[in-house]
Amino acid sequence: MSSSKLPASEVSKAGENRTRSEFPAVSHAAARRQSAQRRRSFRYRFPRDDRALGGKYSVADNSRILLRFFYLERRLSQALGAWTLAIPEFEVKLETGRHLFYHADAAKLLRERLHEQELTLAKIDAFRDQSIDDFIEELLSAADVAELLVGIHQVVGRALATAYRHHIDDTDSVTDAPTIRMLRRILLDYEPMLTWADDAVAAYVEGGIDESRLAQWRWHVARLLQSIGGATGDVPTCPPPAPLRHQQRPFQRCTSPQRDERFVTFANTGDYDTADGTPRFPSSSYESLRLRFLRTQRDEVDAIEAFGTFLWDIRFQDFQAEYDLARITWDETRHTETGHRALLAAGYDPFELPNRLTGSTCRGPMEPAFAMAEINLFGEVGVLKTIGGLIDEAEERRDDLLYHVADFIRADERTHVRKGRHIIRVMTDLGSQELELRTRELFTECLVSLGVVKLDMDVFTVSREDIEHLVGE
Ligand SMILES: [Fe+2]
Ligand SMILES: [Fe+2]
């Protein structure tokens, strides 16, 4: 039945007797009765979806707020990368390698959502905020690792988690559901990260770090965050605290790898047998290669430092390269954890085995392109040359432990070699031959200065194979 044939009395206008709408609904009474009847007789009572339309934000509001979240996440990932060399405590270095990926992954999810909210990727990637940059510089000026954790996790991490929960509550749960789902996924990483950070700060305090110093720093950083409008930018501001450390002394990243006192370290050789003095197994026996592999994995604590530092050094050059570096850093965290656990499972106290610092000592102060060429083109490619044979031999000898860990590590290292190509292109315009030669020259200089190799010719550059052996990954 068409509306023109209905009597006027049967046409009801929604909104009559209430605030007059300019857009009345023209509902046909008969059709409405029939639809009610059909709904009553429909057999299935599915769960009711009670989400309501509304919410506080337009697309423009959403993209303004999410862009600030994106920028904070991107900067936190870079900032943690800047500290990877400087953190002595093993557990904290590992968690930091994981957390910097959590922040990079949050940035990636936000970036994708922003792109769906009418912003171009070029505009998102080019976004900068000077007041956030100043805030990050102050976080980086932490006096020690405990202060770093206080600023990064207990102040801005917690503020972001709260802001995400509020945004989830405040935005439209129907029209903006992808934003809600994305923020919930980010919070899945935040919950264990912030809990761990609270426990870690408590451990520092119990171990003798002055709690009042940390409380002072927490107050200082929290006031500075409020002075720039908080995580959302909408918090009523206060004057910034003074003085600011980064204004007195600009932040510079550490260049030498730090270890806690449980480790014995060496950098005068790249060879474990030489470092040990008394070799544990006949060289080139399966047992020797096996232990060398497991130790190398544990000693990839230096790869966390390498890739984390690259993330800082090449910040803002290319988002995908930053993201890949953050992910590789997390992978190297897992290799270190895997190595540590595998050494235990093989019957060792991992701390009885001296930790090789040769590679990280050379890479620490180096330009990222050459340090990256060493660890990626020599180290990771070098691992792939030998790992297949080791896995085959482990299988033959029914060495389940080595087989299991090497199987996963091989897959990761192949992925790193693949991702490395793009990262190196972002880092340098040098051709591969020139890059390799310059890298070998720089490592020769470094290895000579450490006493790893002797300079006994006028013109001498260590070979690619030497670097693979002496520096490893
Ligand atoms: Fe690795
Ligand atoms: Fe790797």
Q: How far is the CA of 209 from the centre of ligand 1 (A)?
A: 33
CA-only gyration radius of the chain, Å: 29
299 Cα–ligand 2 center, Å: 12
8-state DSSP, 8: G
pLDDT in tens, 85-117: 999 999 999 999 999 999 999 999 999 999 999
Q: Please state the rounded mean pLDDT for residues 310-315.
A: 98
Residue 398 backbone zone (phi > 0: left; psi -120 to 50: alpha; other: beta):
left
Task: Give the whole-angstrom CA distance, residue 96 versus residue 401.
Answer: 27
Across the range 370-391, mean pLDDT stands at 94
Q: How far is the CA of 292 from the centre of ligand 1 (A)?
A: 14
Q: Ligand 1 mean position to 315 CA, how many Å?
A: 22
What is the 144 CA–ligand 1 centroid distance (Å)? 27
Distance CA 268, CA 277 (A): 12
* Ligand 2 geometric centre to CA of 389 (Å): 18
Percent of all residues in the chain with a pLDDT value above 70, rounded to a whole number: 94
470: pLDDT confidence band, cut at 50, 70 and 90?
A: confident
Which band of pLDDT confidence, cut at 50, 70 and 90, is reported for residue 201? very high
Is residue 22 very low, low, confident or very high in pLDDT (cuts 50, 70, 90)?
confident
* Residue 462 pLDDT class (50, 70, 90 cuts): confident
CA of 413 to the centre of ligand 1 (A): 6
Q: What pLDDT digit, counting tens, does each position of 438-453 carry?
A: 999 999 999 999 989 8
| Span of 148-152, 337-341, 430-434, 457-461 with lowest mean pLDDT | 457-461
Distance 410 CA to ligand 2 centre (A): 9
Q: Which ligand is nearest to the CA of 300?
A: 1
pLDDT of residue 20: 61
CA of 409 to the centre of ligand 1 (A): 7
Ligand 1 centroid to 269 CA: how many Å? 20
Q: Which residue has the higher pLDDT, 462 or 320?
A: 320
For residue 121, is pLDDT > 60? yes
pLDDT tens track for 269-300: 999 999 999 999 998 899 999 999 999 999 99
Judged by DSSP in three states, 348 sits in coil
Question: What span, in angstroms and rounded, lies between the C-alpha atoms of 301 and 97?
Answer: 9
CA of 297 to the centre of ligand 2 (A): 10
Per-residue pLDDT band at 255 (split at 50, 70, 90): very high
Tokens encoding 396: 């033959």
Proportion of the chain above pLDDT 90, given as a percent: 89
Q: Is 210 helix (H, G, I), strand (E, B) or coil?
A: coil
Q: What pLDDT does 8 receive?
A: 45
Cα 6 to averaged position of ligand 2 atoms, centre (Å): 75
What dihedral angle (degrees, nearest 10) is formed by the CA atoms of 130, 131, 135, 138?
70
Going 445 to 384 to 338 to 312, the CA torsion angle's sign is positive
Cβ neighbours, 10 Å, residue 449: 12
pLDDT at 404 exceeding the cut of 60: yes
The amino acid sitting at 90 is F
pLDDT at 7 over 60: no
- Banded pLDDT at 11 (limits 50, 70, 90): very low
Closest ligand to C-alpha of residue 408 is 1
| Model confidence pLDDT, tens digit, residues 66-80 | 999 999 999 999 999
Rounded distance from Cα 233 to ligand 2 centre (Å): 38
Q: Hey, what amino acid is at 332?
A: E
Specify whether the CB–CB gap between 424 and 372 falls below 8 A.
Answer: yes
Mean pLDDT of the 51-72 span: 97
Q: Which ligand is nearest to the CA of 380?
A: 2
CA–centroid distance, 84 to ligand 1, in Å, is 16
User: pTM for this structure?
Assistant: 0.93
How many residues are present in the chain? 473
pLDDT at 12: 46
Residue with tokens 């087989």: 403
Neighbours of ion ligand 1 (CB under 5 A): 300, 332, 335
State the chain's mean pLDDT as an integer. 94
Return the C-alpha torsion angle 247, 252, 258, 261, nearest 10.
Answer: -10
- Confidence (pLDDT) at 16: 52
Closest C-alpha to 186, from 205, 165, 207: 165
Question: How far does residue 196's CA lie from ligand 1's centre (Å)?
Answer: 24
